[in-house]
Amino acid sequence: MQGFEEQRRLVVEGLRSLGYIRSEKTARALLRVPREAFLPPQLREYAYYDTPLPIGYGQTISAIHMVAIMTDELDPEPGDKVLEVGTGSGYQAAVLAEIVARSDPGRKGHVYSVERIPELAEYARTRLREAGYGDDVTVVVGDGTLGLPGEAPFNRVIVTAATPAVPPPLIDQLADGGRLVAPVGDRFSQRLVIVEKKGGSITKRYGMECVFVPLIGRYGWHPDSE
């Protein structure tokens, strides 16, 4: 079997040829972030299987093509301030940090990521630090459906858990010219929704179908539905 780097290159090449990765910046970020570093040790050998994998506490790291599609839809720019709701393993946050904080030394953006399960937040902090993203990503424990009012506005907001509707505080905390991506729908199937804020008006468009674990919180699902 090839080493992780070669496996990563092959997956990225495959996703590109299938049209799942559209931009150069997303391809470059996926090539740089070691997905194996965000998995529990016993699952590392499956790091480049393009499928969600369990990370404990009933949660998952998203499939690689899903991270690629969401990153392309979000279209982050170097220097952007990003809010992620649903840190999970920290992998998606690292991919975003590659683009906003690492790709242009003159424009240092930052990723704020909110996770409701304290143990997972700690897991992600450790993984991010060990993979070298400790200064580029701040992991906060809390209900991400409320956003992070103290750090707003954000140029980009990404929700990586399924929500019945886009939480209103996240739209409020979006900067003018900003963009939000979230999987919206019922518990078992959703569609990506891409929201843009321009000159005070909001536009919405729909992307691909997807299946995420539920967003549990004030503007998400009730904890009983977990």
The residues assigned a catalytic role are 62
* Chain position carrying tokens 């904890």: 223
Judged by beta carbon, residue 121 or residue 195, the one nearer ligand SAM is 121
In the complex, minimum distance from the CB of residue 48 to ligand SAM, in angstroms, rounded to a whole number:
15
> For residue 153, is the peptide bond before it cis, meaning its omega torsion is within 30 degrees of 0?
yes
For the record, the structure tokens of 11 come out as 């997956």
Q: Is 201 helix (H, G, I), strand (E, B) or coil?
A: strand
Judged by beta carbon, residue 68 or residue 117, the one nearer ligand SAM is 117
In the complex, minimum distance from the CB of residue 7 to ligand SAM, in angstroms, rounded to a whole number:
18
In the complex, minimum distance from the CB of residue 144 to ligand SAM, in angstroms, rounded to a whole number:
3
Burial of residue 143 (CB within 10 Å: 0-12, 13-18, 19+) is middle
Quote the Cα angle for 128-106-114, to 5°.
30
**By the criterion CB under 6 A, which residues form the site for ligand SAM?**
59-62, 85-86, 88-89, 91-92, 114-117, 120, 143-145, 160-161, 212-213, 215-217, 220
Judged by beta carbon, residue 138 or residue 200, the one nearer ligand SAM is 138
